[in-house]
Amino acid sequence: MDLALLTRRCEHEWEIPAHGAMRVPAVIFASEALVRQMDHKVYEQAVNVAMLPGIVTASFVMPDAHWGYGFPIGGVAAFDADGGGVVSAGGVGFDVSCGVRCLHTGFKSAALRAAQEELADVLYAQIPVGVGSTGGIHLGVSETDAMLTGGASWAVHNGWGEAEDLERIEERGQMSGADPHQVSARAKQRQQDEMGTLGSGNHYLEVQHVTGIFDGALARQFGLEMDDVVVMIHCGSRGLGHQIGTDFLKRMAIAAGAYGIALPDRELACAPIRSELGQSYLGAMRAAINCALANRQILTHLVRRAFAHVLPEAKLPLLYDVSHNTCKLEQHGGRSLYVHRKGATRAFGPGHPELPEALRAAGQPVLIGGSMGSGSYILAGTHSSQRQAFSSACHGAGRAMSRHQASRTWRGREVIEALAARGITVRSPSMRGVAEEAPEAYKDVAAVVDSAEAAGLARKVARVEPLICIKG
């Protein structure tokens, strides 16, 4: 991105002043080096989002932002229904409620190392992963609707997990306002055999250990110490969410003219919040959030079963579960706003009433997935994050190289061998998939989280590095 197009507010904050049809400015939170790495398309997309009706304060861009469709990935925008605000399917993305869940294990890495290969094999056998994989659960029509309404609560009620898990999930594991009747038959059909599946692409399940503590007090509140082994699960709402994105992108693109919305780009397809289509999308999208929460809950059950087989004394309570592709109605500055986060994590600060009591003093855990080799980060929401960008932070490393280029640059087998030499066990059904996800195809996640902290979006708590990676 050309820095000459931006006004520097401070070290890690840049403004694109409102011009042309922009209703508000765009604000980018990133270091100079990260801004320079961003594609010019991120600039264009941040500007386009600022043109949408009812947008409040600014079109925000997180440090890991890259070119998406409609909104940039790493984009945050809030809309006021009273001000003619809109809801956008492109502002949420196809993988509705894609997110990250972190589980404690109670082990140190030495105990895990002794069983590393066996655990990798059992996890790989237990977790359906990769293109075309199906889960062991087949959902009929009425059960699908119950899942879409109940989310992780539905899963726990059916025996996949414990009631105390729900405390440690955004929305307490059940998104309110979900309307299964707004979800198409096609979307439900795509999901009927996909519950408890990990997917492919950048989705993964990793066993990791803590290799750095940045804030001892926060780490203690999160229950983390050096060398603790944790499990991270990254996946979303699977075929159901993808189909909802597809369905509503088309409906919103066709209907925009009838709602008097002049779209700067068709991919910004949206509808007024207070319209039949807007409400229909919100009902369907919230159902997809419940699908993602239920899916990660079932995967948690499968992980616990695998651990019980190899390390019977293991207990795997949740640290937290966050979603990074959503639109949620939240209170900010005394106003009710519809906050779109596309590739951005909610980061409520200390004392927020949405947080479970055990975490309320610390602030919300913000789980940042990195690449297979570079590790991941656990951050905490801060008071300043509430002021900066509607309590939002980054979500991952962000790609530095296209899949196409990555698959021509590396071979999957070589990537696996290189990681094995570093003590990281990879299991995947697709060597090409592994090549496309090679660590070097991603930006430096450390630079992203450093910038997020410096910008006041979140505070660094701990760094974790993989021991086992199950990759789709």
Partner 1 sequence: MGGDPMASGKRMRAHWEHFAHQADMGVRGIGPSKAQAFEQAALAMTAIMTDPATVKPLEMIRIDCEAPDDELLLAEWLNSLVYEMSTRRMLFGRFTVELGPGALQGRAWGERIDPERHHPAVEVKGATYTSLRVAQEGGGWIAQTVVDV
Which of left, alpha, beta for 269 (phi over 0: left; psi -120 to 50: alpha)?
beta
Q: Are 304 and 286 in contact (CB under 8 A)?
A: no
Q: Which is nearer to partner 1, 68 or 375 (CB)?
A: 68
Which of 101, 168, 190, 340 binds partner 1 (CB under 8 A)? It is 190
Pairing relationship of beta strands 26-29 and 55-66 according to DSSP bridges: parallel
Q: SS3 letters for 383-444?
A: HHHHHHCCCEECCECCECCCHHHHHHHCCHHHHHHHHHHCCCEEECCCHHHHHHCCHHHECC
- Give the amino acid at 67: W
Which of 266, 305, 309, 411 binds partner 1 (CB under 8 A)? It is 266
Nearest to 129 by CA among 306, 369, 278: 306
Q: According to the binding rule CB under 8 A, does residue 345 interact with partner 1?
A: no
Q: According to the binding rule CB under 8 A, does residue 309 interact with partner 1?
A: no
Q: Which stretch binds partner 1 (CB under 8 A): 13-21, 116-124, 208-216, 247-255?
A: 247-255
**What would the two tokens of residue 145 be?**
């609707």
Here's the x/- map for partner 1, 388-407, by CB under 8 A: it reads as: ----------xx--xxxx-x
End-to-end CA distance of the chain: 32
Which of 54, 245, 363, 370 binds partner 1 (CB under 8 A)? It is 245
Q: According to the binding rule CB under 8 A, does residue 433 interact with partner 1?
A: yes
CB of 442 to partner 1, least distance (A): 11
For residue 293, the Cα-to-chain-centroid distance in whole angstroms is 12
Q: Are 55 and 49 in contact (CB under 8 A)?
A: yes
CB of 248 to partner 1, least distance (A): 11
Q: According to the binding rule CB under 8 A, does residue 253 interact with partner 1?
A: yes
CB of 325 to partner 1, least distance (A): 11
Q: According to the binding rule CB under 8 A, does residue 429 interact with partner 1?
A: yes
CB of 380 to partner 1, least distance (A): 27
Nearest to 119 by CA among 100, 99, 105, 133: 105
- Kindly name the residue from 332, 340, 395, 404 that is annotated as catalytic: 395
Question: Where would I find the beta strands (DSSP E) of 170-268?
Answer: 204-213, 228-235
CB of 222 to partner 1, least distance (A): 29
H runs (alpha helix) in 12-115: 32-37, 40-49, 109-113
Active site residue 12: no
Q: According to the binding rule CB under 8 A, does residue 66 interact with partner 1?
A: yes
Q: Which is nearer to partner 1, 87 or 169 (CB)?
A: 87
Q: Are 297 and 160 in contact (CB under 8 A)?
A: yes
Q: According to the binding rule CB under 8 A, does residue 196 interact with partner 1?
A: no
Q: According to the binding rule CB under 8 A, does residue 91 interact with partner 1?
A: no
Which of 54, 91, 99, 130 binds partner 1 (CB under 8 A)? It is 130
CB of 378 to partner 1, least distance (A): 23
Q: Which residue, chain included where needed, has tokens 């189909």?
A: 243
Residues annotated catalytic, as ranges = 395
- The residues that touch partner 1, with contacts defined as CB under 8 A, are 39, 41, 66-70, 73, 90, 93-95, 130-132, 134, 186, 189-190, 199-201, 239, 242-243, 245-246, 249-250, 253-254, 265-267, 269, 398-399, 402-405, 407-408, 429-433, 436, 472
